[in-house]
Structure 1
Amino acid sequence: MINRVVLVGRLTKSPELRYTPNGVAVANFTLAVNRPFKKQDGEQEADFIPVVVWRKQAENAANFLRKGSLAGVDGRIQIRNYENNEGRRVYVTEVIADSVQFLEPKGTHSGDQSTSQGNYSSGSRSAGTSQSQRSGPSFDDPFAGDSKEIDISDDDLPF
């Protein structure tokens, strides 16, 4: 069985970061995802999808995403229910994010530019030092300004 969702959209407001009693970080935000068609009057429709992010990813999302930030989410759909104060059963459908990708370079969003971060994945699962554990991505081109030809063997190419 497969329960997989991939979304790209803009945050409707800045993430809300909280901590469980055990100290585990959890962040919630809503992602506005445009539908692939427009209404007859030409207006673009969107779906507003609630997203839940856990642990270090939650802290990264709260630190680097803001209202209007473009983000990609990879995760699964979860449906939970509870009984409200009036005794009615309430069902909640949300995306539990396995990874969140920050899709805008730093400073390109018109919101709080000093804290937005681009091309920074908070969903690394590799052992050792992941990019989410470093201070941030490096956008420096190691070959910029170097007019020397690069000698790479065909055996070293992955394709």
Structure 2
Amino acid sequence: MAAATSVKLVIPSEVRLVDLVHTVAEKLSEIVGLDEEDGLNAALAVREALINAIVHGNRSDPALDVEVTLVASAEGLEAKVVDRGRGFDPVATPDPTVGDNRLRTSGRGLLLIRAFVDDVRFRYLEGRGMEVTLIKAHHPPRGAGEDRSYGPAIPRRT
């Protein structure tokens, strides 16, 4: 990929539009050359960040928009999701793997996002809302460059 490809979507806070953004993220993951698993993970992270922005940031108010910017480059896929909410402290978010939190039916979005991408950054934009940046780096194909010369060869039975 010679130059970066950038797509910016501004959508009202309606969950029904999440699939559209998810599809765009998947297609850009293909363009950048992410393998199928990494591309799916990147798109799922974008999906979770967008749902959080709509439901928690903008409180599902369709009058408030969410801005999603996706940049595909040789380095990988970067996504910025900006809501119009009051922001939150990601460190203060309850850990969904501890105690009674494990029994809750929600609250795993940030955990999933962190598991699916290589880097997540949170920034409150004064007077504009919360910005979440997700980065999924382009990695060599699984198994590429691995040293398979260890140990004796096991002869085949004929």
TM score, norm. by length of structure 2: 0.30
Q: Which has the higher contact order (CA 8 A, sep 6+)?
A: 2
Higher relative helix content: 2
TM score, norm. by length of structure 1: 0.30
Higher relative strand content: 1
